[in-house]
Structure 1
């Protein structure tokens, strides 16, 4: 009999629970797992400020679910909006279909909480979805555009005044992004950047309440240096189109107010038949079972459980908690199915990290290590990469690195843009042709004895390995053989010597460890002669591939390996070590400029993409039996 497990919500918690269950029941065809979300992708919520602040494009935080679950065929993806849950018939009612369940995990997430403050919905901007982040991005651009054309001085300055309400992690990160983006926008629209003002407003007496005073002081110092005006203990009571009003009576002119002051449970879940606690979160027991529903578990931001392990505080609405609650919910579903004892939730959080733009951040790790600057930012990126590896997605781990380091414009990351990959590859074309010509010439010399070289297809063995010298045939003297071998070695890359000087070998003698490897692969002269001819053809192929720009990255990487082997074999000179840095430089994409890689690599990418990940879709539907 088929057992149906339905998971509502494909955020951090939903994806984590689905992966754990999918891996556990991978070989059990009697278990059907359905993951439902209104989007066909996972939104990387902790990086939405980067989209809103113009640092990365929207697709940088959207990770297609098919790419995450392509190996778990028992996890069925469904793109639908859940409207209701019938606990009596055990059915999840979607906008487009109905999904029966035996076990249910609700991970519907949260949304912005405006606490009923006047004008937030009408005039403010929240940041709790990719759509909201894109709206902020567009509105900031619109404000700058309008300011550039506004003749009224007061309105001009109000258009360049940016307010963020809430000095938690999201608020601090959002205001930090703006301070790095606005200089670019002002330059683009010929505005005086000195006219831009930033305001961070917090009703509480301090910022970043989940870290220590050390992090708070460091964050304040960074923000003040960036020109951010911080207002503490003075919350917003009204958001108008052109200004905000504070509890103290103060008004701040602004056409852009971004609300990050709080989070509550997804309001869609408010009619799903559960008991609800603070901010609309679903009440759960220590096993994360929804109150009154033994076969329903809750995880992530929507779960409300006061954790004794954290001094009775409710489960925090952070990624670490989402992952841990997802793990426990999945484990307890399995335990319930097996009739085993359920486990209790014990939250343990490794630390908190907050970025203030792409170059600055502060961190508290394991409640004792205080980091800032480069190392803090490095830890933050490492944690994000670790997340993708934890869900088995090497593809998205690389995608994250590519967006954060290689596609960043304006130097808005920890390396100041030094790793940016938006350079003009046209200037690598002459180098690629020259380098390919060098390999082609060497290949022609070795294969055909052209350009004054000695062919490696003759009866002279060029490898200067002692175990091969011992097998020299009796018709040739040892002295003659040694002289011939030495001359042949000079032909490895004889094209580029300093005239009048004897070139110096990188290694005069082969290291013992490498000798052992070579002896394994070339135990006798017959094998050595084959390898000698084979390498000649390889060099010829490398030259041709580089000249036409085909598989340039792989070929260049191969040349680094080949040159390294020549060096270790005592057959390569310092005069030609430029081969290695040139090969590394060509790996930057040199084959896409007037090369076949421009056509071949995208074509192969589409083929392998579909073969490995399947066909990503905008709408996923449940597989019907």
Structure 2
């Protein structure tokens, strides 16, 4: 990676406005790319030199090599006027439009000031104060999550096979039956035979539970498709428990609110997210999940020139409630902000943000899925799974054109990881 892409931004010599974007998820990356022709210098702050696809983080649990195909190096796909500063944001001062960054290479900290500040720091798990959950549960939050879940499950199954663990060693409990929990449970069920071969535990002895506090899986989703998902998981051997929240997690048990105690060696929490704590700590006006309230132009209440997008932003929908923290919302907000900021910097008028709900597609392993598209059109089975893949193909095409798309369709890794050279 060249020095231009990774070095910290210095003082402006040409007087161009400085735009700082914090976070290179769907929203931050899209904002940076849409500022290609803007009369500004742009600094994109991110802890890692890659952008990963949050909606696919569950896949490496069943298919470890997928980890190389769910992340994209940032530098080759950033415009020339965007500099990537590898560092971790540790504080945000919206009054100064500034962010304090701990540099990845040196560990030193520095405040970076901007004329326009875009906060797209993403989310973190929400544990709802459940005793023992944060300390003992695994989560699905970044590129390390899939391999960590897989290795933890294999390790505990192997200990069970060796007699070093009791029944808890062969039981996995996924807490939270929303999109991520459903997709993860399906991946685990699909991986059961591989896990059995790797550890010597009979496949039928590996138990997977999916626990949801609401009366059904996928709360608020289409009822017919929810029934399809529930039947699919049950046929795959997943034990679905609904209408009962988790009350406590101990070293050997998941305790449910109705008093049941499930012996469980591996607990994975997918039951909710909140905005990164930096948002609330910065002093923004936030909702109950720590997201900053923004106006129709995604500008923070009370802070001119400070914008938020993605999981960090509470943008009210038609019903007055914040839009859900989905990838499509984050991507649309990022693209909007990039266009809007470019127009503002030229003194041109800017229309407010108008989200477009394009539908929802949920994968159920490699060969099945469900989707709810525009006008309530439902799709299930292999067609839905192909549609889920097509959303990634379309996204990659928008980033890198036909060359990048052909690369992924050809099976090449997008992001070389330690131990695997660039193809």
TM-score where L is the length of structure 2: 0.89
Aligned residues: 397
Long gaps (5+) in structure 2:
1-14, 104-109, 414-419
Which stretch shows the higher mean deviation, 79-88 or 41-50?
79-88
Name the CA distance, whole Å, in 2 between partners of 1:95 and 1:103. Answer: 20
Residue 303 of structure 1, CA deviation: 0.5
- Is 1:132 aligned with 2:172? no
* Separation (CA, whole Å) in 2 of partners of 1:112 and 1:124: 11
Q: Which moved more, 1:189-198 or 1:168-177?
A: 189-198
Residue 349 of structure 2 corresponds to which residue in structure 1?
341
Give 1:135 shift.
Answer: 1.9
Give the structure 1 partner of residue 285 of structure 2: 275
Among candidates 358, 371, 388, match of residue 379 of structure 2: 371
**Contact 1:16/1:391, CA 8 A, preserved across alignment:** no
For 1:39-50, list aligned pairs within 5 A. Answer: 39-50=48-59
Aligned position for 1:568 = none
Aligned with residue 106 of structure 1, among 105, 110, 119:
119
Structure 2 equivalent of residue 35 of structure 1: 44
Cα distance 1:374–1:232, how it changes in 2: closer, same or farther (>3 A)? same
Contact kept in structure 2, 1:55 and 1:181, CA below 8 Å: no
Matches within 5 A, 1:253-272: 253-272=263-282
- Contact in 1 for aligned 2:293/2:315 (Cα 8 Å): yes
Aligned twin of 2:311: 301
Asked if 2 retains the 8 angstrom alpha-carbon contact of 1:351 and 1:367, the reply is no
Determine the structure 2 residue equivalent to 1:353. 361
Structure 2: how far apart are the matches of 1:402 and 1:184? 24
Q: SS at 2:289's partner residue?
A: helix
SS at match of 1:108: coil
Q: Which has the higher contact order (CA 8 A, sep 6+)?
A: 2
CA contact (8 A) 2:21 2:28 kept: yes
RMSD: 2.1
Q: Separation in 1 of the partners of 2:57 and 2:347?
A: 41
Structure 1 residues 53 and 112: alpha-carbon distance in aligned structure 2, compared to 1, 3 A threshold: farther
CA contact (8 A) 1:351 1:365 kept: yes
SS at match of 1:275: coil
Distance 1:395 1:203 in 2: 45
Tell me how far apart the structure 1 counterparts of residues 187 and 166 of structure 2 sit (CA, whole Å).
22
Match of residue 327, structure 2, among 319, 333, 336: 319
1:196 corresponds in structure 2 to 206
Provide the rounded CA distance (Å) in 2 between the counterparts of 1:303 and 1:144. 41
Distance 1:402 1:245, change over 3 A: farther
Aligned residue number for residue 13 of structure 1: 27
Is it true that 1:392 corresponds to 2:378 in the alignment? no
1:77 aligns with 2:84: yes
Quote the offset at 1:368 in angstroms. Answer: 2.2
Q: Distance in 2 between matches of 1:38 and 1:345?
A: 28
Structure with the bigger percentage of helix: 1
- Take 2:143 and 2:181, find their aligned partners in 1: how far apart are those partners? 16
Matches within 5 A, 1:73-472: 73-96=80-103, 97-150=110-163, 155-308=165-318, 311-403=319-411
Distance 1:87 1:347, change over 3 A: closer
Deviation at 1:205, TM superposition (A): 0.6
CA distance in 1, matches of 2:326, 2:73: 21
Q: In 2, distance between residues paired with 1:75 and 1:339? A: 21
Give 3-state SS (helix, strand or coil) of 1:111's partner.
strand
Shift of 1:399: 4.4
Offset of 1:189 from its aligned partner? 2.6
**Distance across 2 between alignment mates of 1:287 and 1:148:** 57
1:34 deviates by 0.8
> By how many angstroms is 1:92 displaced?
2.0
The higher radius of gyration belongs to 1
Greater strand fraction, Structure 1 or Structure 2: 2
Find the aligned partners of 1:371 and 1:56 in 2 and give their Cα distance: 28
Distance 1:90 1:297, change over 3 A: closer
Residues 278 and 332 of structure 1: CA distance in aligned 2, closer, same or farther (over 3 Å): farther
Mapping 1:61-72, distance limit 5 Å: 61-69=70-78, 72=79
Q: Map of 1:423-572 to 2, 5 A cutoff?
A: none
Task: Report the CA distance shift for 1:59/1:169 in structure 2 as closer, same or farther (over 3 A).
Answer: same
Is the Cα–Cα contact under 8 Å of residues 307 and 345 in structure 1 kept in the other structure? Answer: no
- Find the aligned partners of 1:87 and 1:202 in 2 and give their Cα distance: 38
Relative to the length of structure 1, the TM-score reads 0.61
The runs of 5 or more residues in structure 1 that have no matched partner are: 408-601, 610-625
SS of the residue corresponding to residue 130 of structure 1 reads coil
Report SS of the residue matched to 2:191.
Answer: helix
For 1:589, the equivalent position in structure 2 comes to none
Q: Is residue 275–residue 283 contact of structure 1 (8 Å, CA) maintained in 2?
A: yes
8 Å Cα contact 1:350-1:367 kept in structure 2: no
Say whether the 8 Å CA contact 2:92–2:278 is kept in structure 1: no
